[in-house]
Amino acid sequence: MAGGGNGLPLAIHAGPDAVPAARRFDEPVIRGTRKRPAGVPTNRLVFTACRGTNAELFPRVMSLYVAPGSNVADVTFGKGVFWRQVPQGTYRLLATDLEEGVDCRNLPYEDASIDCVVFDPPFMHTPGGTAHAGHQNYETYYRNNSAGNGCGKRYHEAVLELYFAAAEEALRVLKGDGIYIVKCGDEVCSNTQRMTHVELINELVQRGFIVEDLFVLMRNNRPGVSRLVRQVHARKNHSYFLVFRKAGRRRLANA
């Protein structure tokens, strides 16, 4: 190894393919300046699961997927629970409900005119007691347990049928890439587990929606039963917000 003028050895790249020039071992390595990414470290994020209420989680879902000023059709508005913590004027809210004569399956909006549709039907048949106090039920509004419900189906199958029909109408009124936010919950029907959120995702994907997100909301209190002989299944204390996006023409063409 050859020495330098000050007696220090030089690093020599030998071999026929050697290209870089010799560098002294005591010379600093000069590297290019790396651009620092934007943003700040934080754990103040929107998470997929939380304990709380609809009014607490719903604004977080909206903040991720719906821009302020958007036209939002809440087609099962009820008492407006979802909107209690959304600052008034953030969105152009179109609030309707079946009790007021507007059916989620036949909305009074033009095709491709809405940025976001929110759908929160009673998602269990025959809730009974105080399970859905203050919330419309299928027996009263949708005649879930009768042949007059329009679909010829009963119980959980009628629940799904309403979700599917409402999704078709939402698909019609949503703009390209519009957002569809759906509230649902799983249930046990005829002693059979029905994973409603899975059934909805599988069906809506086939109907022209893209799955964007899933949020799990746990109840603050402990649900109970009026009469218990023997517990067969775990009692459900959570529900879901599913977020879908209408597949635009470009997305469908690339599918």
Residue with token string 């059979």? 192
Instruction: Identify which has the larger pLDDT, 6 or 175.
Output: 175
Confidence of residue 252 (pLDDT cuts 50, 70, 90): very low
The answer to whether position 28 is within a domain reads: no
Domain count within the chain: 1
At residue 106, the pLDDT reads 96
Residue type, 8: L
- What number of other Cβ atoms are within 10 A of residue 166's Cβ? 22
Output the pTM of the full model. 0.75
Does the pLDDT value for residue 127 go beyond 60?
Answer: no
CATH code for the domain of 174: 3.40.50.150
H or E segment to which residue 175 belongs:
strand 174-184
The answer to whether position 68 is within a domain reads: yes
Please check whether residue 214 is in contact with residue 240, taking contact to mean a CB–CB distance below 8 angstroms.
Answer: yes
Beta bridge partners of 147: none
Instruction: Identify which has the larger pLDDT, 121 or 13.
Output: 121
Residue 9: C-alpha distances to residues 26, 28, 99, 150, 173 (Å): 9, 15, 89, 91, 76
Instruction: Identify which has the larger pLDDT, 50 or 222.
Output: 50
SS3 at position 192: strand
The answer to whether position 133 is within a domain reads: yes
The answer to whether position 213 is within a domain reads: yes
Q: How far apart are CA 118 and CA 63, in angstroms?
A: 14
Confidence of residue 131 (pLDDT cuts 50, 70, 90): very low
Percent of the chain with pLDDT over 70: 72
Percent of the chain with pLDDT over 90: 54
The answer to whether position 62 is within a domain reads: yes
The answer to whether position 121 is within a domain reads: yes
The answer to whether position 20 is within a domain reads: no
Beta bridge partners of 116: 72, 179
Please check whether residue 193 is in contact with residue 128, taking contact to mean a CB–CB distance below 8 angstroms.
Answer: no
The answer to whether position 38 is within a domain reads: no
Instruction: Identify which has the larger pLDDT, 249 or 144.
Output: 249
* CA 167-170-172 angle, 5° bins: 115
Confidence of residue 122 (pLDDT cuts 50, 70, 90): confident
Angle between helices 196-206 and 155-173 (to 10 degrees): 40
- For residues 126-136, one letter each, b for 16 or more C-beta atoms within 10 angstroms of the residue's C-beta and e for the rest, the string is ebeeeeeeeeb
Domain coverage including residue 76: 49-220+227-254
